[in-house]
């Protein structure tokens, strides 16, 4: 299939899958997987192969970088010990348990470990798409785990493949050196790329150039880390986490507006396309297995899926007791979660496109020229496990969340009100001083003071939660009237264009200003 045709087919599939998911209230990734599997029946699509480097070098850096920019560093610091255990120890234990299961199903040890490494890491994009109903802390831990555990899995995978093709030797110092290089080198590259990014963003006034630097950052971090055989995943994540902390102070508003218009759409399309391609790849792997091999592979999918769930649940509960026994600080006790919350986290261990990319990275042959043992089997089982976790656990998770009766997380709303209230109060206090410094006329000062006081009253009323508060009613009437006036102005400008009194260029300029004003009013629902 030609590249342009593939782009159109994938775009239409992503659109249809998301529309159907919203229409029938099914998680879109589940629908996209089914759509991809149906697309795989078409002969033209059937011949299309998903090169693993497309995910590892093109899709993955973008997705990881955006996830890093939008996660909570405060929550990561608070739950660092748990995140480290989940992203390293759990990955190794899971890969080992799957390897044992794979070897019991007659896979040689090397390919069995390769299969374990492929399915061991959870997927950040799948977690973000399917676990959105969870409290902020659990979401942050799940996302942080899935951001880092890819690096651990790729080191294990490299060792497994290297041993199979006779390129690696397994000794404790060698393995330790590989992990040290992966994590230490990846973190160092991430810091270096973030430093370069910060210095460039400070100096670039053009928002287009600034956002070009932002686009290049994850690819640069990934490629540099891979060049020195470090973890490209960790390099991207570290770079993104650093930029998330410094960006509010050094990046201009126009740069942020452009980035917020570009990145959510780009990551939405990439996420959807990856889920569709997983479904397509399942069809491809299915056609490369004989009937006896297919029977064994289906058994393996069930066995491996069961192992993944069992190991994750066992680790979540056992590690809680170990941490509690080793760390008796009061703050550690405050971080403890209920057993019901652990059950929810256990069901949220989704696998995704990264696992498929790792499986597809298995070489076709070993050094002797012989085929790599069980490659088609590994790809099919990995695809099947992804489907089981996304469809099975994805459909079960909402019910498990309802069963767990987790307390409603209002911390984000409360902190948002705190931030808006404090910022507005301090702005009102600073108004006389700033007005005196700039020589502002008293009339303008009074007008701004009234605007800010009205805004402060609205924010405080939102914090109380009373819909009948006069400040909220005033704000609602103000917003509705402003929106009606904007619609009237927009119609007037279009009429002037149609009457040939103004050019299309002028229309676009005025319309952009009106669109920005409408977005502020509709988004915030507050007076300016």
211-236 as b/e: b if 16+ CB within 10 A = bebbbebbbbbbebbbeeebbbbbbb
Q: Phi-psi bin for 469: left (phi > 0), alpha (psi -120 to 50), beta?
A: beta
Q: pLDDT band at residue 420, thresholds of 50, 70 and 90?
A: very high
Q: Please check whether residue 232 is in contact with residue 222, taking contact to mean a CB–CB distance below 8 angstroms.
A: yes
Contact 347, 130 (CB under 8 A): no
Domains and CATH numbers, the chain: 3-402 (1.20.1530.20), 412-524 (no CATH)
Q: What is the pLDDT of residues 469-503, one digit of tens each?
A: 888 888 899 999 999 999 999 999 999 999 999 99
Find out whether 341 and 406 touch, Cβ atoms under 8 Å. Answer: yes
Residues facing residue 371 across a β-bridge: 365
Phi, psi of 503 (to 5 degrees): -85, 160
Three-state secondary-structure class, residue 40: coil
Q: What angle do CA 481, 456, 483 make, to 5 degrees?
A: 15
Residue 527 banded pLDDT, cuts 50, 70, 90:
very low
Distance CA 373, CA 363 (A): 10
354: part of which helix (H) or strand (E)?
helix 353-360
Distance CA 508, CA 528 (A): 23
* Interacting residues of 483 by C-beta distance below 8 A, sequence separation 6+: 518, 521, 522
| pLDDT band, very low/low/confident/very high, at 525 (cuts 50, 70, 90) | very low
Two tokens, residue 229: 């055989």
- Tens digit of each residue's pLDDT (9 = 90 or more) over 33-71: 889 889 888 887 877 666 767 777 888 899 889 989 988
Structure tokens of 447?
Answer: 């007008």
Of residues 240 and 412, more confidently modeled: 240
What gap in Å lies between CA 462 and CA 447, rounded to an integer? 23
CA dist 499 and 383 (Å) reads 59
Would you state the pLDDT for residue 492?
97
Question: CA-to-CA distance for 317 and 304, rounded, in angstroms?
Answer: 20
Measured from the Cβ of residue 237, the count of other Cβ atoms closer than 10 Å reads 27
Token pair recorded at residue 89: 């120890």
Residue-wise pLDDT tens digits, 324-377: 776 666 666 666 778 888 999 999 899 987 888 888 888 888 877 788 888 889
Report how far residue 185's alpha carbon sits from residue 192's, in angstroms, rounded to the nearest whole number.
11
Sort 440 into a burial class: Cβ within 10 Å, 0-12 / 13-18 / 19+.
Answer: middle
Q: Is the dihedral of CA 79, 81, 82, 83 positive or negative?
A: positive
* Closest to 143 in 3D by CA, of 40, 71, 213, 233: 71
What is the pLDDT of the chain when averaged over all its residues? 87
- Rounded Cα gap, residues 169 and 179, in angstroms: 14
Q: What is the pLDDT of residue 137?
A: 79
The packing angle between helices 353-360 and 253-287, to 10°, is: 60
Give yes or no for a contact between 218 and 236, defined as CB atoms under 8 angstroms apart. yes
Contacts of 296 (CB under 8 A, 6+ apart): 105, 106, 377
Q: In whole angstroms, what separates CA 316 from the centre of its chain?
A: 22
Report whether pLDDT(291) > 70. Answer: yes
Tell me if 209 sits within 8 A of 260, measured CB to CB: no
Q: Helices marked H in 388-503 — which ranges?
A: 394-404, 411-438, 442-464, 470-498
> Which candidate, 197, 186, 181, places its Cα nearest to that of 242?
197
Q: Give the residue-averaged pLDDT of 212-228.
A: 95
> 365: which strand partners?
371
Q: Which two tokens stand for residue 142?
A: 């799940």
**Residues 221 and 260: beta-carbon distance below 8 Å:** no
pTM: 0.85
**356-388 burial, b if ≥16 CB within 10 A, otherwise e?**
bbbbbbbeeebeeeeebbbbbbbbbbbbbbbbb
Dig out the tokens for 504 from the structure: 């299309």
């Amino acid at each position: 299939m030609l590249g342009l045709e593939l782009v159109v087919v994938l775009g239409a599939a992503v659109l249809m899958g998301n529309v159907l998911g919203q229409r029938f209230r099914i998680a879109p990734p589940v629908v996209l997987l089914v759509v991809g599997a149906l697309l795989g029946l078409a002969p033209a699509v059937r011949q299309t192969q998903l090169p693993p480097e497309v995910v590892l070098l093109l899709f993955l850096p973008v997705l990881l970088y955006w996830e890093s920019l939008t996660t909570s560093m405060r929550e990561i610091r608070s739950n660092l010990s748990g995140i480290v255990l989940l992203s390293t120890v759990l990955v190794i234990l899971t890969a080992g348990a799957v390897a044992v299961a794979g070897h019991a199903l007659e896979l040689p040890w090397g390919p069995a470990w390769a299969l374990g490494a492929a399915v061991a890491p959870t997927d950040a994009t799948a977690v973000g798409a399917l676990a959105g109903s969870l409290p902020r802390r659990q979401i942050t831990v799940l996302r942080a785990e899935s951001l880092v555990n890819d690096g651990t899995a790729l080191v294990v995978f490299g060792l497994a493949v290297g041993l199979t093709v006779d390129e690696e030797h397994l000794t404790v110092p060698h393995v330790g050196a590989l992990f040290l290089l992966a994590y230490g080198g990846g973190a160092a590259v991430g810091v270096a790329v973030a430093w370069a990014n910060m210095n460039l963003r400070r100096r670039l006034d053009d928002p287009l150039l600034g956002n070009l630097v932002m686009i290049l950052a994850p690819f640069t971090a990934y490629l540099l880390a891979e060049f020195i055989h470090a973890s490209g995943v960790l390099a991207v994540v570290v770079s993104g986490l650093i930029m998330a902390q410094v960006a509010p102070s050094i990046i201009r508003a126009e740069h942020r507006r452009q980035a917020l218009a570009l990145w959510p759409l780009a990551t939405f399309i990439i996420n959807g396309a990856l889920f569709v391609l997983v479904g397509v790849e399942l069809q491809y792997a299915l056609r490369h297995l004989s009937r006896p091999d297919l029977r064994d592979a289906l058994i393996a999918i069930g066995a491996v899926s069961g192992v993944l769930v069992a190991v994750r649940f066992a680790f979540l509960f056992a590690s809680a007791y170990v941490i509690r026994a080793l760390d008796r600080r009061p703050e550690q006790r405050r971080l403890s979660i209920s057993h019901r919350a652990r059950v929810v986290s256990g069901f949220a261990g989704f696998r995704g496109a990264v696992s498929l990319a790792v499986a597809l990275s298995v070489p076709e042959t070993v050094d002797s020229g012989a085929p790599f043992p069980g490659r088609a089997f590994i790809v099919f089982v990995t695809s099947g496990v992804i489907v089981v976790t996304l469809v099975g656990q994805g459909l079960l998770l909402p019910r498990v969340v309802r069963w767990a009766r987790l307390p409603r997380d209002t911390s984000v709303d409360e902190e948002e009100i705190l931030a808006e209230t404090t910022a507005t109060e301090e702005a009102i206090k600073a108004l006389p001083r700033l007005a005196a410094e700039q020589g502002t006329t008293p009339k303008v000062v009074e007008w701004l003071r009234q605007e800010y006081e009205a805004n402060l009253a609205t924010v405080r009323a939102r914090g109380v939660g009373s819909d009948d508060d006069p400040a909220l009613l005033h704000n609602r009437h103000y917003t509705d009237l402003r929106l009606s006036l904007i619609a009237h102005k927009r119609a007037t400008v279009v009429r002037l264009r149609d009457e040939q009194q103004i050019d299309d260029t002028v229309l676009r300029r005025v319309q952009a200003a009106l669109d920005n004003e409408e977005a502020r009013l509709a988004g915030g629902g507050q007076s300016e």
